Amino acid sequence: MAQVVAWSSMTSKNSLPILLSLCAIGSVAMMVLSRPVDSVTSVERPAPQAVTAPSPTPAPAPSLRDLADEYALLPFDELYQLPAGPKGLEFTSGTQSLNDQKVRMDGFMVRHFHEDAGVFLFAGVPAVHNQAEYILAESLPTSLVHVLMPEIAGRTPSWRPQRITVYGRLELGSRQEIDGRLSHVRLIAEHVADSKTQEPIELRRPIALQRDRMASGVRTVFRSSQGDTPPTNNLTNTAPSTLR
């Protein structure tokens, strides 16, 4: 019995340091766990964002305003002397002085399918002409201009409703056109623009996409295919997106 008591006493003495160590560790752990979490460390940092390069500034739309001074303005109502005299219609002195010169004219395309693939009729007011119905009857304004454009295979000028500006070289004198009509004023087009914005526009569209022209049954004649030399001046063109 005495041996058992002695052994228990020795065991208690050996385990006391261990128990004290465990108590100390537990106290430290409790102190750590009971401390408030630093609010700064708990804030999540935002993920770094990729730096995007600034988009390039789109180039301004081309304009023909800078060319305006190179072309004399010729209004439709100043083509002929009014009222007409005993000799009929006569060009004004201003019009005659501009023959074979660079001019610009503001007006409207006549809603009409011309047989010449490089020609459209141009007037100072909106007009419609059906040659199949009216033949050569004068259903058109007196101040009529034939605009001649360089030919593009498979394309013809397509009517647009808005007011346009045609820049080109003025040509006066009577000439019989492919459709049998006599032209007296012709404008050899160098540039065509929207009158409001002066942005270049392309009037020549594929014939296959001009349903009204196809349905009308009007023939289309390309002067180049007949050995005639069409206008060859360089006409301002626009993006294929516009040739719709």
The CATH number covering residue 143 comes to: 2.40.50.140
pLDDT interval class at 95 (50, 70, 90): very high
Q: Tell whether the model's pLDDT for residue 216 goes beyond 50.
A: yes
Length of the chain: 244
* Mean predicted confidence (pLDDT) in 179-188: 93
Whole-number pLDDT of residue 55: 66
Return the structure tokens found at 230.
């069409």
In a domain, 47, yes or no: no
In a domain, 210, yes or no: yes
DSSP state of 70: G
Residue 81: give the domain boundaries: 67-237
Q: Tell whether the model's pLDDT for residue 127 goes beyond 70.
A: yes
Higher-confidence position of 232 and 210: 210
Distance between the two ends of the chain, CA-based, in angstroms? Answer: 116
In a domain, 114, yes or no: yes
In a domain, 43, yes or no: no
Give the lowest-confidence range in 67-71, 228-232, 234-238: 234-238
* Mean predicted confidence (pLDDT) in 100-109: 98
In a domain, 104, yes or no: yes
Higher-confidence position of 211 and 51: 211
* Mean predicted confidence (pLDDT) in 82-100: 92
In a domain, 52, yes or no: no
Q: Which helix (H) or strand (E) segment is 183 a member of?
A: strand 182-194
Q: How far is it, in rounded angstroms, from Cα 228 to Cα 117? A: 12
* Mean predicted confidence (pLDDT) in 161-185: 94
Q: Tell whether the model's pLDDT for residue 230 goes beyond 50.
A: no
Q: Tell me how many domains the chain contains.
A: 1
Mean pLDDT of the chain: 79
How many helices (H) and strands (E) in the chain?
Answer: 5, 8
Return the structure tokens found at 123.
């007037």
Q: Which residue matches tokens 């305006």?
A: 68
In a domain, 242, yes or no: no
pLDDT tens, position by position, 50-90:
666 666 665 555 679 998 899 999 999 999 998 888 888 89
Q: Tell whether the model's pLDDT for residue 10 goes beyond 80.
A: no
Higher-confidence position of 129 and 11: 129
pLDDT tens, position by position, 184-201:
999 999 999 999 999 999
Whole-number pLDDT of residue 243: 32
In a domain, 10, yes or no: no
Q: Tell whether the model's pLDDT for residue 121 goes beyond 60.
A: yes
Number of Cα atoms under 13 Å in the Cβ half of residue 163: 9
